């Protein structure tokens, strides 16, 4: 009869076990491991006979069940009792099952919470042009957000399909100068404004490196508006003459 | 400026803001003290509840925002402008575990769920409900995950302390927990989260 159960119905071995225990009306603290293991293995056999892939985790759980069963068969030595708090080999499994049930329950609660764009809706304002003077609301960016923004940019830049390989000299120093010059014109600058249109992959990379170098040298600060992932550059207060010392080689990008 | 006018200005700010507006921000704009703003916001929330309009002022994601009343969802859906997320059970379970256990590593999620969860976590990240908080200072320095502000906005939660209380189980729950979530359609169970066309 357990063959009627489809594996899709379960979110994993813990879910399946919960189902089996409940079906047998067992007390969770007194799981009859032998019986449950048999049913569990029957279930897996049934799935295999239907040529369905059994995910590895189902097999791991089968092994765990068998291990618990065998530990329950072994006599317990007295010194082990002193060493191990847990006498019942089933204890960890029981804890996991109850814990899993908590989250399963909470998932149900969440499913019924009002959700945005399903039950609750917002007035969706047009994405307003960012006020040049004030700039958008900025927050400090985390490394991961920065990497994500970079990836987004790379996605937009078409991959270059080049047959003839020509040595193209892309100078980070030059881009650093460009960025600094642009920042003298405007106190805040979105990274995308620096990019040539249409986007060129290598340009994006070199500009990004130049930006990171500037941050490293504490010449600029970068911020990000979380929502649209734009990176904003603004100058850091620093004396400008440190720049003359920069040479291409010092970055090691040559 | 009398109180009525201040209130009207706050309403205007809330109306025009794209994201939930924090009371600190309102204080900053109006140059008024926090206590007063807090009181006025509270009044505005109460008024919107009793006014019987089609929208409510809600306290979400540590800010305030006008939102449509849930009971009118069906009508707004007929506008056809919105594409709701469809959560699979796997996605919702994983999201819930991350929400309650954050900061949490993938290994911890997988131990709790008993199944591999990398793909689900990735989908949740793409939907901006989950983010990487950093790395855990243990062997292998695994990533640790947590929920985002979008998560709070999505479920209309004030902050993380506003998460529904986890029920404690000392025994198996009745059969009510068995089976599918009410919203997960049979046909959408394959993909973690889908956006309906």
Q: What is the pLDDT of residue A2?
A: 41
The residue among A23, A58, A114, A127 with the most chain B CBs within 10 A of its CB, best to mutate, is A114
- Is the pTM above the cut of 0.90? no
B93 → closest Cβ in A107, A114, A226: A107
State the Cα–Cα distance between residues B20 and B65, nearest whole angstrom.
5
Residue A130 has pLDDT above 80, yes or no: no
Q: Strands, DSSP E only, in A93-175? A: 139-140
Using a CB-CB distance cutoff of 8 angstroms, which residues of chain A are in contact with residue B178?
19, 22
Split at pLDDT 50, 70, 90, the class of A47 is: confident
Dihedral of alpha carbons B124, B125, B129, B130, sign: positive
Structure confidence by residue, pLDDT tens digits, B128-137: 999 999 999 9
State the Cα–Cα distance between residues A49 and B148, nearest whole angstrom.
43
Half-sphere exposure in the Cβ direction for A37 (13 Å, CA): 16
Higher pLDDT, B2 or B148: B148
Residue A130 CA to its chain's centroid (Å): 29
Q: What is the pLDDT of residue B182?
A: 42
The verdict on B170 touching A (C-beta cutoff 8 Å) is yes
Structure confidence by residue, pLDDT tens digits, B52-91: 899 999 999 999 999 999 999 999 888 877 778 888 889 9
- Asked if this assembly's ipTM is beyond 0.85, the reply is no
Give the residue among B140, B90, B151, B146 at the shortest CA–CA distance from B115: B90
Looking at the DSSP bridge assignments, the partners of residue A150 are none
Residue B192 has pLDDT above 60, yes or no: no
Split at pLDDT 50, 70, 90, the class of A239 is: low
Mean pLDDT to the nearest integer, A86-95:
82
Taking an 8 Å cut-off on Cβ atoms, the answer to whether B181 and A14 are in contact is no
State the Cα–Cα distance between residues B74 and A115, nearest whole angstrom.
13
Taking an 8 Å cut-off on Cβ atoms, the answer to whether B154 and A144 are in contact is no
Residue B117 has pLDDT above 60, yes or no: yes
Most confident of the ranges A47-51, A55-59, A136-140, B48-52: B48-52
Work out the minimum CA distance from B137 to partner chain A, whole angstroms: 17
Q: In the predicted model, what is the mean pLDDT of chain B?
A: 85
Structure confidence by residue, pLDDT tens digits, A182-215: 888 888 888 888 887 787 888 888 888 998 988 8
CB A40 within 8 A of CB A62: yes
Taking an 8 Å cut-off on Cβ atoms, the answer to whether A115 and B84 are in contact is yes
Under DSSP, the state recorded for B58 is E
State the Cα–Cα distance between residues B25 and B62, nearest whole angstrom.
11
Expressed in angstroms, the distance from the first to the final Cα of chain A is 69
Output the 3-class SS for A180-234.
Answer: HHHHHHCCCEEHHHHCCCCCCHHHHHHHHHHHHHHHHCCCEEEEECCCCCCEEEE
State the Cα–Cα distance between residues A79 and B122, nearest whole angstrom.
46
Structure confidence by residue, pLDDT tens digits, A100-128: 999 999 999 999 999 998 888 888 644 43
Q: What is the pLDDT of residue A133?
A: 43
CB A17 within 8 A of CB A36: yes
The verdict on A108 touching B (C-beta cutoff 8 Å) is yes
The residue among A120, A148, A151 with the most chain B CBs within 10 A of its CB, best to mutate, is A120
Residue B2 has pLDDT above 80, yes or no: yes
CB-count burial class (<10 Å; 0-12, 13-18, 19+) for B195: exposed
The verdict on B80 touching A (C-beta cutoff 8 Å) is no
The verdict on A249 touching B (C-beta cutoff 8 Å) is no
Taking an 8 Å cut-off on Cβ atoms, the answer to whether A121 and B171 are in contact is no
């Amino acid at each position: 009869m357990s063959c009627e159960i489809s594996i899709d119905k379960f979110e994993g071995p813990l879910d399946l076990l919960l189902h089996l225990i409940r079906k047998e009306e067992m007390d969770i603290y007194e799981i009859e491991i032998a019986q449950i293991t048999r049913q569990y293995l029957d279930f897996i056999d049934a799935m295999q006979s239907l040529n369905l892939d059994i995910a590895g985790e189902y097999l791991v759980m089968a092994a765990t069940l068998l291990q618990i069963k065998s530990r329950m068969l072994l006599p317990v030595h007295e010194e082990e009792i002193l060493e191990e708090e847990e006498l019942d080999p089933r204890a960890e499994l029981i804890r996991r099952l109850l814990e899993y049930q908590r989250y399963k329950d909470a998932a149900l609660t969440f499913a019924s919470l009002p959700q945005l764009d399903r039950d609750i809706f917002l007035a969706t304002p047009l994405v307003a042009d960012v006020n040049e003077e004030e700039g958008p609301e900025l927050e400090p960016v985390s490394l991961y957000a920065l990497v994500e923004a970079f990836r987004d940019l790379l996605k937009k830049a078409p991959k270059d399909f080049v047959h003839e390989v020509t040595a193209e000299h892309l100078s980070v120093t030059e881009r650093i100068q460009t960025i600094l010059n642009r920042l003298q014109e405007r106190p805040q600058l979105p990274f995308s404004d620096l990019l040539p249109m249409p986007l060129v992959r290598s340009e994006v990379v070199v500009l990004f490196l130049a930006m990171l170098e500037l941050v490293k040298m504490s010449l600029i600060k970068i911020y990000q508006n979380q929502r649209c992932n734009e990176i904003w550059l603004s100058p850091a207060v620093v004396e400008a003459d440190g720049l003359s010392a920069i040479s291409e080689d010092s970055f090691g990008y040559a | 400026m009398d109180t009525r006018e201040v209130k009207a200005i706050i309403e205007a700010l809330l109306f025009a803001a794209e994201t939930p507006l924090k009371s600190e921000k309102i204080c900053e704009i109006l140059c008024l003290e926090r206590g007063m703003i807090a009181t006025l916001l509270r009044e505005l929330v109460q008024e919107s509840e009793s006014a019987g309009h089609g929208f409510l002022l809600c306290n979400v994601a540590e800010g305030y925002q006008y939102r449509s009343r849930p009971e009118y969802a069906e009508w707004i859906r007929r506008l056809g402008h919105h594409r709701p997320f469809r959560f699979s059970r796997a996605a919702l379970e994983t999201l819930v575990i991350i929400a309650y256990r954050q900061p949490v590593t993938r290994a911890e999620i997988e131990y709790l769920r008993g199944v591999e969860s990398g793909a689900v976590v990735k989908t949740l990240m793409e939907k901006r409900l989950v983010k990487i908080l950093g790395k855990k200072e243990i062997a292998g320095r695994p990533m640790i995950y947590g929920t985002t502000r979008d998560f709070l906005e999505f479920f209309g939660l004030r902050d993380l302390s506003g998460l529904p209380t986890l029920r404690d189980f000392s025994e198996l729950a009745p059969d009510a927990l068995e089976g599918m979530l009410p919203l997960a359609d049979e046909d959408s169970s394959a993909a973690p989260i889908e956006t309906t066309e």
